[in-house]
A and B are shown apart, each in its own frame.
Chain A
Amino acid sequence: MRAPGGPEVAVGDVLLSVENVSLSFGGVTAVSDVSFDIRKGEIRAIIGPNGAGKTSMLNVINGFYTPQQGRITFKGETRSKMRPHDAAHGGIARTFQNVALFRGMTALDNIMAGRTLKMHKNFFWQLLRYGPAMAEEVEHRHVVEEIIEFLKIQEIRRTPVGRLPYGLQKRVELGRALAMEPELLLLDEPMAGMNIEEKEDMSRFVLDVNGHFGTTIALIEHDMGVVMDLSDRVVVLDHGIKIADGTPDEMKKNQAVIDAYLGVAH
């Protein structure tokens, strides 16, 4: 149920699909013949034990890795490989497993950096910070301030992110990804290393991003409680192979998934 006036998101249309993707590094196979899709407006979780190929999969989606085989279709356009800037221009944003922020810059500047793609005035205008470039910056700053309020990080606006605790750095990173106004947001272990309270806050933000902005989200997460609460559908990888795909409830009962996580007696 969505509030009137909010973005109407029809869950159902396929936003991105991955078909028969295989990726290997030399003799090591990271992902092998994996296919799944992400529908508009949903929260899609990718789970699996360590080394299952989850992060590799995200890297393939946003073009950081080029798969040896397979196709990626994003918004109806099919490519054998996605280049990072195509992904960014196309509306895919991401956060990283290990926070990747500009540590010496303030939270505000980091999030502002996420707006770079949306800035159109050329370098010299921006250097002058005058006239149209200034007007553009003010406009972007407004969007960034809305994100700051949304993530409740007003008090750290001017703090260099290197000085912030880990949980807040993760939040700033989410802010930077949001600044791109993405259609598809890839979150690589957004709750890793957090305590329960921070996890609850982060879950709240993820749900709010999905509900408030209608952003489609694909996330990798290890905390099963979080995955079950947040996601609409789950894809399970193990040793680079897709072993299951379905709703969280189905996954809980799926024998292959239980075996992958708990191990099987040999």
Chain B
Amino acid sequence: MALNASAVADTFPKLLIRNAHLYGSRPSMRHKDLGVWQTWTWEQVLELVRAYAVGLNRLGLKRGETIAIVGANRPKLYWSVMAAQMLGAVPVPVYSDAVADELCFVLAHAEARYAAVEDQEQIDKLQSVAERLPKLTLMIYDEKRGLRDYDHARLRSMDDVIDEGRKALADPAVGAWLDAEIAAGKGSDPSIILYTSGTTGASKGVVLTGERSIKAASDTVVFDKLNENDVALAYLPLAWVGDHYLNYAQGMVAGFCTACPESADTAMSDLREIGPSFYFAPPRTLELLLTRVMIRMEDAGLLKRKLFHYFIGVARRYGERILNGQPVGLIGRLLYGLGNILLYAPLKNVLGFSRVRVAYTAGEAIGPDLFAFYRSIGLNLKQLYGQTEAFLYVTAQPDGEIYSDTVGPACPNVEIRIAENGEVLFRSPGMFSGYFKDAAKTAEAMTPDGFVKTGDAGFFDEKTGHLKIIDRAKDVGRLNDGTLFPPKYIENKLKFYPNIREVVALGDKHDFVCVMLNIDLTAVGSWAERNNVVYGSYQELAGHPLVYDMIEKHVAEANRSLAADKVMAGAQIKRFLILHKELDADDGELTRTQKVRRGFIAERYAPLIKALYDGSKEADISTEVTFEDGRKGIISARVKIRDIKIEPAAAPMGKAA
């Protein structure tokens, strides 16, 4: 059986050869080029990658060396990963939207002599920091556009490298040499280095080995019953552990087809055309999709709007129970069936979810309403918890055991332990072998008995046996009166409102809780249009009194929900403000995975925080911003601050049930 064979293949190149034998003429990769989906079978991919590997070797890439991979999800970049692994070299994918400095840090730290890049944009970025990267000798590019006037001494086209290798492979001795190279690869060799996104300071290079990666992926492939008939759309950053695991590793182990979108902007329509059967989206993307659907429904005709709201109500009542296989009455089933014909199926089709069998979300807490919405229309959306050091999975929800506020029980062969300070520790088959060139940090991240410290605080829910994550262990703070203050918990309560995009909660070592937030320009902008609120920029809309009124209602509601929970009643929000600019990864306020960098923000917005706590009604702030092309500018504003009523803690009457 296929899965037994994977036990023999302990590196990805060996797995590729196995797939070419087992699934030879089945699609391995698709990419939309010139408006048409192009397909490569496993056999073709093997041939290409072999030629590419030989070509790279001719350019001097050797076992143990690193090669940076910079760009969007394109077949040739995935093949660059495969070709490097075939030679025993270690690919180091880098976030393609990183600014030059961030690229420079990773490439310098990884000591990359080679870089496989997507296009001119990435080459420009690397050349702008070339003097800080003395080791970088050659860039191999996919897209030749705009490069005609460049000095080609340090540049090579991928096509040329592959052609070169193909010519060399005409000599059987070269083929035999390559076979020997593949056979010489050991499962314990590093197979890839993934740099963490830097939520907790500078990013670290997580070294993963082939054997462990394949073991982890084999477990989840069985867990979710994935096989060679599945299809996934690779639209999340190549450098992120999620993409490498869900698409690359699982694709190799299960032999399924990975489709690459035409461009980042077309991912939505490509999703619809490809109709994947395995899908992953961070909560943020799901939220964005739902917001878009809701906005378009607001603009639809009366009949359509009524139909939509009625059947969404039906789905809310019965959908999840039907999906979970629980008993539902005849009328419920009939209504849901009708709704499926009229609304759910067409809606899923528009969103590209028609064929999705397994969908996951992770990375952040997901709003219960949001989660329920997708499940109620029949999308098998589940949650998982993981991190780069684990090679993604630590826990995952099995089919039929789905809760919006848990992340599921431990995955097969994963051991989890909760430390005394509440930190989650795990030991898993896919766990990393160490941080690249940083033994001290590696030792710090491990317990003496070989468990990895996740840095997240959590506990096992007694009722379901699932793990619940509340916050980063080191972020859980206390107010001056000793009340527990988990900032993320409070932020998430607010972020579940579609009008609110980003929230920063403050309160550790202070007397009370305050929040600074970003409105969602799409949702609030559309609301403004319908309510004749005129605005010229984000800043103007954010400062509008009517917008403040609207957000005030949301915050008051969040307070009521906090008050309902005895432990959290003391951490209600007393004051809030709407920031004059959107938090942005280019300004260092968010990580590349769009997580808030609290410490940095506290420093940058110090005048606002001071004003929040000294009772001022407004405050002046000016901040430096970085534009997409790297230039800098200053934004100044006067930001208003509002007070919110604190709700009394929940009366001890308690609700029924």
Contact = CB atoms under 8 A, between A and B. Distances in A.
Interface of A: 1-3, 6, 141-142, 145-146, 148-150, 152, 154-155, 157-158, 204, 208, 211-212
B273 to A, nearest CB: 11
Interface stretch (B47-55, B145-153, B317-325): B145-153
A211 B149 contact: yes
A74 B41 CA distance: 51
Given A154-B263, A155-B263, A3 B148 contact: yes
Which 5 pairs between the two chains have the least Cβ-Cβ distance?
A: A3-B148, A145-B34, A155-B265, A145-B35, A155-B266
Interface of B: 33-36, 144-149, 262-263, 265-266, 269
Contacts of B148: 1-3, 6, 211-212
A88 to B, nearest CB: 26
A136 to B, nearest CB: 17
Contacts of A148: 34-35
Contacts of A142: 34
Contacts of B263: 152, 154-155
A79 to B, nearest CB: 35
Given A1-B148, A148-B35, 15 more contacts: A2-B148, A3-B144, A3-B148, A6-B148, A141-B35, A145-B34, A145-B35, A145-B36, A149-B33, A150-B145, A154-B35, A154-B265, A154-B266, A208-B145, A208-B146
Contacts of B36: 145
A149 to B, nearest CB: 6
B262 A154 contact: yes
A206 to B, nearest CB: 13
B116 to A, nearest CB: 20
Nearest to B150: A3
A158 B262 CA distance: 14
A198 to B, nearest CB: 13
Contacts, number: 39
B145 A155 contact: no
22 contacts: A1-B148, A1-B149, A3-B144, A3-B147, A3-B148, A141-B35, A142-B34, A145-B34, A148-B34, A148-B35, A149-B34, A150-B145, A154-B262, A154-B265, A155-B263, A157-B35, A158-B269, A208-B145, A208-B146, A211-B148, A211-B149, A212-B145
B198 to A, nearest CB: 28
- Among B35, B146, B263, the one with the most A-chain Cβ atoms within 10 Å of its Cβ is B35
A247 to B, nearest CB: 19
Contact of A146 (B34, B144, B147, B262): B34
Nearest to A146: B34
A122 to B, nearest CB: 26
Contacts of B147: 3
B109 to A, nearest CB: 32
A135 to B, nearest CB: 15
B269 A155 contact: yes
A148 B34 CA distance: 8
Contacts of A212: 145, 148
- Among B34, B36, B149, B266, the one with the most A-chain Cβ atoms within 10 Å of its Cβ is B34
B638 to A, nearest CB: 26
A145 B266 CA distance: 15
B498 to A, nearest CB: 24
Contacts of A1: 148-149
A60 B617 CA distance: 65
A146 B33 CA distance: 9
A158 B268 CA distance: 13
A149 B148 CA distance: 17
Contacts of B146: 204, 208
Nearest to A142: B34
Contacts of B149: 1-3, 211
Contacts of B33: 149
Nearest to A208: B146
A258 to B, nearest CB: 30
Contacts of B145: 150, 208, 212
A196 to B, nearest CB: 10
A45 to B, nearest CB: 21
A193 to B, nearest CB: 17
A151 to B, nearest CB: 11
A145 B262 CA distance: 12
Contacts of B35: 141, 145, 148, 154, 157
- Among A2, A141, A154, the one with the most B-chain Cβ atoms within 10 Å of its Cβ is A154
Nearest to A144: B35
A150 B148 CA distance: 14
Nearest to A141: B35
- Among B146, B148, B263, B269, the one with the most A-chain Cβ atoms within 10 Å of its Cβ is B148
A6 B148 CA distance: 8
A156 to B, nearest CB: 9
A157 B146 CA distance: 22
A6 B146 CA distance: 12
Nearest to A200: B629
A146 B265 CA distance: 17
A247 B265 CA distance: 40
B155 to A, nearest CB: 11
A208 B145 CA distance: 8
Contacts of B266: 154-155
A35 B96 CA distance: 50
A21 B446 CA distance: 83
A194 to B, nearest CB: 16
Nearest to B627: A197
A145 B34 CA distance: 5
A211 B262 CA distance: 25
Contacts of B34: 142, 145-146, 148-149
A149 B33 CA distance: 9
A218 B34 CA distance: 29
A239 B456 CA distance: 73
A200 to B, nearest CB: 8
A169 B279 CA distance: 34
Contacts of B144: 3
B288 to A, nearest CB: 16
Nearest to B264: A155
Contacts of B265: 154-155
A155 B271 CA distance: 13
Contacts of A154: 35, 262-263, 265-266
A208 B119 CA distance: 15
